[in-house]
């Protein structure tokens, strides 16, 4: 009997030693990219996230300013990140290569996320960060909520031609998250019609000649810049007066996170408003 018991204990110990070790969730996580900042804040367990990038508290570009203020800010420098003793760093594929490479040479795990260019990328990024943080269940909750809200915010109206127009004449065309937001809310993208794939500049003359029915531009930054002066050009103002116009915060357009729902809410309301104006015009005076 004792021999059998010893054999059973030996077998159990052998199986335990042979079983693959379950990776322990990181306890000290630092994010150095605006988009991974937001994913980490949505997914991290209490006390797990140590720091987010300083961009996360910039109202013009961040969708989670108030949440970000609860964390120490970093500027993405390898030296400052290393001194935080992280066991995981979250970065973007466009994060400075020297920072990412140096952190990896110092033995720190770095996970890089590419920019999201479609709604389908958002669940993928939630799941990627969820796995990295050991928060898979929370990631699945957020994915389910996002997909339900995405379906709810679809606007089933004939497309109205819209132009995204930012400082310096920058715009985004096909294959971008901004293009997906427009198409989901009942708009077509003038820049895509003109053959632009990705981001680039759209000369004001071409914008005026395209005669969009909606101009979408960003909220102005504090102070003044020559890049923003273009948005005050009389020709653009004339187009904005003739067409519809909406001013948006960039925070809901930049990152592949559920924050895009904010942009969808704004653009959906703008499209329905245009539809109401059109109905009023068709109805005419009685």
Query: In the listed set 127, 151, 175, which residue is the last one of a domain according to the structure?
Result: 151
Give the 3-state DSSP-derived string for 29-93, with helices as H, strands as E and coil as C.
EEECCHHHHHHHHHHCCCCCEEEEEHHHHCCCCCCCHHHHCCCCEECCCHHHHHHCCCCEEEEEC
- Give the relative orientation of helices 34-43 and 121-133 as an angle to the nearest 10 degrees: 60
List C-alpha distances in Å: 158 to 180, 199, 229, 243.
Answer: 15, 25, 33, 16
Q: Provide the whole-model pTM.
A: 0.86
Q: Cβ distance 167 to 204 under 8 Å?
A: no
**Residue 209 belongs to what domain range?**
156-283
Best CA proximity match to 155, nearest among 177, 185, 194? 185
- Report the domain count for the chain: 2
Q: For residues 170 and 275, state if they share a domain.
A: yes
In tens, the pLDDT along 20-64 reads 444 699 999 999 999 999 999 999 999 999 999 999 999 989 999
What whole-number distance in Å separates Cα of residue 199 and Cα of residue 191? 9
Residue 11: the pLDDT is 43
Neighbours of 158 (CB within 10 A): 9
Residue range 195-237, pLDDT digits in tens: 999 999 999 999 999 999 999 998 777 666 777 888 889 999 8
112 and 61 in a common domain: yes
Domain end residue (candidates: 101, 133, 151): 151
The confidence score (pLDDT) of residue 51 equals 98
Could you report the per-residue pLDDT of 118-171, keeping only the tens digit for each? Answer: 999 999 999 999 999 999 999 999 999 999 999 999 999 999 999 999 998 999
For residue 195, the model assigns a pLDDT of 95
Q: Considering 102, 133, 151, which residue would you say is the last residue of a domain?
A: 151
- 279 pLDDT tier (thresholds 50, 70, 90): low
State the chain's mean pLDDT as an integer: 89
Residue 250, number of CB atoms within 10 A of its CB: 19
Q: In this structure, are 55 and 36 located in the same domain?
A: yes
Q: Is residue 187 part of a domain?
A: yes
- Is residue 10 included in any domain, yes or no? no
CATH number at residue 196: 3.40.50.1980
- Rounded to an integer, what distance in angstroms lies between the CA atom of residue 53 and that of residue 73? 5
């Amino acid at each position: 009997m004792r021999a059998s018991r010893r054999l059973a204990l030996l077998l159990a110990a052998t199986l335990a030693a042979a079983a693959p070790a379950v990776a322990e969730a990181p306890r000290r996580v630092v994010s150095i990219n605006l988009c991974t900042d937001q994913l980490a804040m949505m997914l991290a367990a209490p006390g797990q996230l140590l720091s987010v990038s300083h961009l996360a508290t910039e109202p013009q570009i961040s969708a989670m300013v108030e949440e970000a203020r609860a964390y120490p800010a970093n500027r993405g420098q390898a030296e400052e990140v290393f001194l935080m003793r992280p066991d995981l760093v979250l970065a973007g594929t466009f994060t400075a290569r020297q920072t990412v490479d140096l952190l990896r040479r110092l033995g720190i795990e770095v996970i890089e996320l590419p920019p999201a260019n479609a709604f389908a990328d958002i669940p993928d990024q939630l799941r990627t960060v969820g796995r990295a943080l050991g928060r898979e269940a929370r990631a699945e909750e957020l994915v389910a909520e996002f997909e339900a809200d995405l379906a709810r915010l679809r606007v089933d109206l004939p497309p109205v031609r819209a132009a995204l127009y930012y400082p310096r004449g920058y715009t985004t065309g096909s294959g971008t998250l901004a293009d997906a937001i427009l198409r989901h809310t009942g708009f077509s993208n003038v820049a895509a019609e003109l053959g632009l794939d990705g981001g680039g500049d759209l000369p004001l003359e071409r914008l005026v000649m395209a005669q969009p029915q909606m101009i979408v531009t960003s909220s102005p930054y504090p102070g003044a810049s020559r890049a923003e002066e273009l948005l005050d050009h009389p020709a653009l103002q004339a187009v904005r007066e003739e067409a519809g116009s909406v001013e948006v915060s960039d925070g809901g357009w930049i990152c592949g996170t559920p924050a895009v729902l904010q942009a969808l809410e704004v653009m959906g309301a703008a499209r329905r408003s245009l539809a109401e104006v059109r109905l009023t015009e068709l109805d005419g005076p009685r």
